[in-house]
A and B are shown apart, each in its own frame.
Chain A
Amino acid sequence: MVALVMITFFWGGIAIAQNGDAPATDGSAGLLLSEAVMCEDIETYAPVNRAVVFATGIGQVVCFTAFENIPEQMFIYHSWFRGDELITTKRLTLKPPKWGTHSKILLRQADIGPWRVEVHDQQENIITTLRFSITE
Chain B
Amino acid sequence: MPMLDVQSSVASLRWQDILDIALNSYILFRLYVLFRGTTTFRVLIGIALLWIVQRIAAFLGLIVTSWAIQGIMAVAALIIIIVLRNEIRSVLQAKNLKTILWGIPTRVGQTPHEIIADSVFDLAKKRHGALLVLPGKEDLSDIVQSGLPWHGVVSREMIASIFWPDNPVHDGAAILQKDRIAQVGVILPLSLRQDLPSSYGTRHRSAIGLAAEKDALVIVVSEETGHVITTRGGQITTTRTRADLIRQLEAHSGVLGSQLEARKQEILKLATAAVVAVLFVMSMWFGFSRGLESLTTLDVPIEYMNRDPKMEILETSANSVALNLSGSGALIKSMRPETVKVRLDLGKAVVGSNTFTISPENITVPPGIILKKVTPAVVEVALDVLVIKELPVQVDWTGRLPDGFILTNATVTPAKVNLVGERRILKGLTTIYTEKVPLDGLTQTGSMTVNLALNPASLKVGSDSVDRVTLAYIVKKRVPRDPATEP
Q: Which residues of A contact B (CB under 8 A)?
A: 18-19, 21, 40-41, 43, 48-53, 55, 59-60, 81, 83-84, 113-114, 116, 129, 131, 133, 135-136
Asked if residues A43 and B485 are in contact (CB atoms below 8 Å), the reply is: yes
Whether the pair A50, B408 counts as a contact (CB closer than 8 A) is yes
> Cα distance A41–B486 when bound, in Å?
8
Contact for A49 among B398, B400, B406, B430, CB less than 8 A: B406
A84 touches B429 (CB 8 A): yes
**B408 adjacent to A51 (CB under 8 Å):** yes
Q: Indicate whether A135 sits within 8 Å of B397 (C-beta atoms), given known contacts A41-B485, A84-B428, A129-B392.
A: yes
Nearest A residue to B411, CB-CB: A19
B248 interface residue per 8 A CB criterion: no
* Interfacial residues of chain B within 369-422, with CB under 8 A of chain A in the complex: 392, 394-401, 406-411
Instruction: Determine the chain A residues whose CB is within 8 A of the CB of B479 once the complex forms.
Output: 48-49
Cα-based distance from A129 to B400 in the complex (angstroms): 24
Whether A59 lies near B400 (C-beta < 8 A) is no
Distance in angstroms from A108 CB to nearest chain B CB is 14
**Residues of A contacting B482 in the complex (Cβ-Cβ under 8 angstroms):** 43
Whether A19 pairs with B410 at a CB distance below 8 angstroms is yes
Query: A133 to B400, Cβ gap below 8 A?
Result: no
**Can you sample 17 A-B contacts with CB below 8 Å?**
A40-B481, A41-B485, A41-B487, A49-B406, A51-B406, A51-B407, A52-B397, A52-B408, A53-B439, A114-B395, A114-B433, A116-B394, A116-B431, A129-B392, A131-B431, A133-B397, A135-B397
Q: A131-B394, A131-B395, A133-B395 are in contact. List 4 more A-B contacts (CB 8 A).
A: A41-B481, A55-B401, A81-B430, A135-B398
Instruction: Establish whether residues B406 and A59, one from each chain, have CB atoms under 8 Å apart when the complex forms.
Output: no
Verify if B126 is at the interface (C-beta below 8 Å from A): no
CA distance A43 to B431 in the complex (A): 32
Pairwise interchain contact B407-A52, C-beta atoms closer than 8 A: yes
Min C-beta distance of B450 to chain A, whole Å: 13
State which of B395, B396, B408, B428 has its C-beta within 8 Å of the C-beta of A18: B408
Secondary structure type dominating chain A contacts: strand
Q: Which residues of B are in contact with A by a Cβ distance under 8 Å?
A: 392, 394-401, 406-411, 428-431, 433, 439, 478-479, 481-482, 485, 487
**Distance between Cα atoms of A131 and B396 in the complex (Å):** 10
Of A41, A83, A136, which one neighbours B400 at CB under 8 angstroms? A136
Q: Closest CB of chain B to A41's CB: distance in Å?
A: 6
Which residue of chain B has the shortest Cβ distance to A136 in the bound complex?
B400
**Least CB separation from B478: chain A residue:** A49
Inter-chain CB contacts under 8 Å: number: 72
Task: Check B481–A18 contact: CB distance below 8 A.
Answer: no
CA distance A48 to B476 in the complex (A): 13
Closest-CB distance, A63 to chain B (whole angstroms): 15
Q: Is A53 in contact with B397, judged by CB distance below 8 angstroms?
A: yes
Cα-based distance from A100 to B290 in the complex (angstroms)? 88
A135 CB contact (under 8 Å) in B400, B408, B431: B400
Instruction: Tell whether, in the assembled complex, residue A84 and residue B431 are in contact, meaning their CB atoms are under 8 Å apart.
Output: yes
Chain B contacts for A51, CB-based, 8 A: 406-408
Within the assembled complex, what's the spacing in Å between the Cα atoms of A55 and B402?
11
Q: How far is the CA of A50 from the CA of B409 in the complex (A)?
A: 8
Q: Find out whether the CB atom of A59 lies under 8 angstroms from the CB atom of B396.
A: no
CB within 8 Å for A59 and B487 given contacts A49-B406, A135-B400: yes
Residue of A nearest to B433 (CB): A114
Check A135 against B487 for contact (C-beta < 8 Å). Answer: no
A84 partner residues in chain B, CB cutoff 8 A: 428-431
Taking CB atoms, residues of chain B closer than 8 Å to A136 are 398-400
Which B residues are CB-close (under 8 A) to A18? 408-409
Instruction: Give A41's nearest chain B residue, CB to CB.
Output: B487
Query: Which of A19, A43, A49, A84 has the most chain B CB atoms closer than 10 A to its own CB?
Result: A19
CB of B447, distance to nearest CB on chain A (Å): 14
Return B230 CB to nearest CB of chain A, in Å: 120
A77 to chain B, nearest CB (A): 16
User: What residues of chain B lie closer than 8 Å to A81, measured between beta carbons?
Assistant: 430
Query: How far is B407's CA from A114's CA once the two chains are assembled, in angstroms?
Result: 14
